[in-house]
Amino acid sequence: MQRLHDKVSIITGAAQGIGLATALKFAQEGAIVIVCDVNQTAIGDAVKQCEALGAQAIGYVMDVTQRASVDAVVGKVKEQFGRIDVLVNNAGITQDARLQKMTLEQFDRVIDVNLRGVFHCAQAVADTMTAQGKGVILNASSVVGIYGNFGQTNYAASKFGVIGFTKTWSRELGPKGVRVNAVAPGFITTPMLSTVPANILKDLAARVPLKRLGQPEEIANVYAFLASDEASYVNGAVIEVSGGMSV
């Protein structure tokens, strides 16, 4: 049985990495997948991959930092399907530098995408979900948002902030039937790590009790569980998916 049958699911940053893996997993589980990203070509490819799995999928160019862009997409989805069941706030970027070297532009850009973008998307769907009396918002945090990381002042702050959002919204929206949870991935093999030197990646893997980096699908599986009715009593949780990195 498909766990997400006909659930209208908006996924941001869905054209690559964990977002794409999540879109494909949701497609396999029977969701109606709304692929949102800033890359039109990649969106088209992602939609085709979802459709190849038998799912209904639609792609939209959406910049999470621009509220008008977010509202336009959410409006179209609600108009077409009459409801929004799941939001996966996956879109995120890194612009790393040590505290003394970080530019204001680097700081602002990461906060804008990773924190303000999550706020925009959640606020845009909240009224619809509470009116339905049912919905799921899933936020992408990170182990960096729990433990910090060298050279990632902006990223760590944004991912700590996402945990704050999750805890707060679970209290505000929970009484209306809307569950809000976060996933905190460890180091996952995605395009985001493509700029990291091989020797550093090897060192990262060595720090994990499972002695390897994670795969995007391993995060997508957790999102699919949290989005499903199987997780009906999970609310306000931050689930670390890191191979035991913090043990």
Q: Check if the beta carbon of residue 17 is closer than 8 Å to that of residue 46.
A: no
| 155 catalytically annotated | yes
Estimate the crossing angle of helix 153-173 against helix 104-111, to 10 degrees. Answer: 30
Look up tokens 């804008």; give the residue.
112
CA pair distance 133, 2, nearest whole angstrom:
22
DSSP assignment letter at 114 = I
Q: Check if the beta carbon of residue 14 is closer than 8 Å to that of residue 38.
A: no
CA pair distance 59, 33, nearest whole angstrom:
8
Closest CA to 57 of 96, 4, 106, 132: 4
Catalytic residue among 60, 147, 155, 233: 155
Please identify every residue annotated as catalytic.
155
